[in-house]
Amino acid sequence: MNRTMINELQGKAGEKVLLKGWLHRVRELGKIAFLILRDRTGMVQCIVETGKISIKGIKLESVIEIVGEIKENKSLDLGCEIAVEAIKVISAVNYDLPIEINKGELEAGLDTILNNRVLSLRHPKTNAVFKLQAVLAQSFGEYLKSNAFTQVFSSKIVGGGTEGGTEVFEIKYFDKKAYLAQSPQFYKQMLVGSGFERVFEIGHVYRAESHDTNRHLNEYVSLDLEMGFIEDERDLINLETEMLKYMLSQASLQCSEELRLHNVQLPEIKGEIPSIPLPEAIEILKREYGKTDLENDIDPEGERLIADYVYKTFGSEFVFLTHYPRSKRPMYTMPADGGLTHSFDLIFRGLEITTGGQRIHSYEQLRTSMLERGLNPDSYPGYMDVFKYGMPPHGGLAIGLERLTAQLLGIKNVREATLFPRDRYRLNP
């Protein structure tokens, strides 16, 4: 008999089926036991007459096979249950479970959850986080592919010449020193200039920052894109707006059950996302919230407050902050008038989820920008080449996949939106 998945049981009362999965819960009532079987598609109640079929010694989370008949039961969410005719243990559990995963909420501290990842991920709410995350990554790629972007895979081991500004992890590379890439920034620019014009990458990036917050990871998945022949950063802002609409529509379509489990509503993007130049945002924060400690930059509190302001004023949960000052952006950022830049961040529900902007495409201008910051252009030979040999106006952006996932689901700590997070103290599992 072929395996039937639990989400295929509805409307088939009377049929005999073979189910496989994990034993999620057991309740014994006299001569009857109610087992909950869980597979990757859901859960079903299975009724066992314990006088005929023994379930003694079968511990929770054992992998079992059940043969039985589908019975209609309208009082259950699924609309049916299984009258069990045979149970077989495929993989027995002989150990006590370190955490309980058969309650509505996973009641354990973050460290316990992460230390017992293979169990905590079995909890339907935890599992749902990563089903949504997969759809977000995939729909990012689908949207860009349909807009003539080529997916690329750039090296994460770099010989030197990092962007500056953040710490990097050092690797022993045979007899040399190398570093883990803090972003595919240089590579994606080089690939735009290599004739691809439009590229995207979905891959890990590494930051050796030692601070320990609920929104930072030392390794995360960056959804990166870069495109050539743009006018300015507005082209990127428009692209991201349409891309997010597509990603949210796919999440809504493919993850309705996952979103229901988390009891969240996806944000709506109607038309354009509001866009505020940073200097104006700083004025608004002063005027509306009496926040006077900002100068030329915004802090996490400021991001939360400006998000609050935009939601109250425009009804949008997203806001683009634009025109960051030159001093706050990397050397490759295209300058704008008044010491500002053609750059932007996207704030979603009070947290920055994207940084992007137009880049400098002139070799001489880039050299000058590096020298002004005390960087040596000769340390970046492969990168500088592309600007010598014909580079179109271009720009790009990067979205932190774990942050986007966490913000959509109302998860407070980005580690919970990471399968196997890496931070200052955590290297396992």
Place of tokens 């910051």: 373
Question: How many residues belong to the site for a second copy (CB under 8 A)?
Answer: 95
What are 169-174's contacts with CB under 8 Å, separation 24+? 169/206, 169/208, 169/218
Are 417 and 411 spatial neighbours (Cβ–Cβ below 8 Å)? yes
CB atoms within 10 A of CB 375: 17
Residue 408 sits in the site that holds a second copy (CB under 8 A): no
Cβ–Cβ under 8 Å, residues 50 and 32 = yes
Using the rule CB under 8 A, give the single segment among 8-16, 48-56, 130-138, 344-352 that binds a second copy.
130-138
* Residue in 25, 215, 291, 422 binding a second copy, rule: CB under 8 A: 422
Are the C-beta atoms of 45 and 81 separated by less than 8 Å? yes
Residues 8-37 that bind a second copy (CB under 8 A): 20, 22-23
Site for a second copy in 348-367 (CB under 8 A): 361-363
Rg for the chain (alpha carbons), in Å? 26
Handedness of CA 378, 384, 388, 389 (dihedral sign): positive
Minimum CB separation from a second copy for residue 318, in Å? 24
Decide if 250 contacts 139 (C-beta within 8 A). Answer: yes
Binding mask of the shown chain, residues 200 to 229, with x at each position contacting a second copy by CB under 8 A:
--xxx-x-x-x-------xx-x-------x
Instruction: Give the pair of three-digit tokens for residue 115.
Output: 């230390």
Task: Establish whether the linkage from the previous residue to 184 is cis, with ω within 30° of 0.
Answer: no
Cβ-based neighbour number of residue 83 at 10 Å: 13
- Maximum distance among all alpha carbons in the chain? 85
Options 76-84, 155-163, 302-310, 328-336: segment touching a second copy (CB under 8 A) = 155-163
The distance of closest approach from Cβ of residue 171 to a second copy in the complex, given in angstroms and rounded to an integer, is 5
Which CB atom, from 78 or from 294, has the smaller least distance to a second copy? 78
Binders of a second copy among residues 48 to 87 (CB under 8 A) are 61-63
For 16, other C-beta atoms within 10 Å of its C-beta total: 14
Binding residue (CB under 8 A) for a second copy from 141, 274, 279, 325: 141
Q: Which of 353, 360, 383, 406 binds a second copy (CB under 8 A)?
A: 383
Query: In the set 4, 48, 106, 193, which binds a second copy (CB under 8 A)?
Result: 193
119 binds a second copy (CB under 8 A): yes
80-99 mask for a second copy (x: CB under 8 A)?
----------xxxxxx-x--
- Is 158 a binding residue for a second copy by CB under 8 A? The answer is yes
Is residue 304 at the binding interface for a second copy, with CB under 8 A as the rule? no
Stretch 238-257 residues interacting with a second copy (CB under 8 A): none
Q: Which of 385, 410, 412, 413 binds a second copy (CB under 8 A)?
A: 385
Q: What is the DSSP letter of 58?
A: -
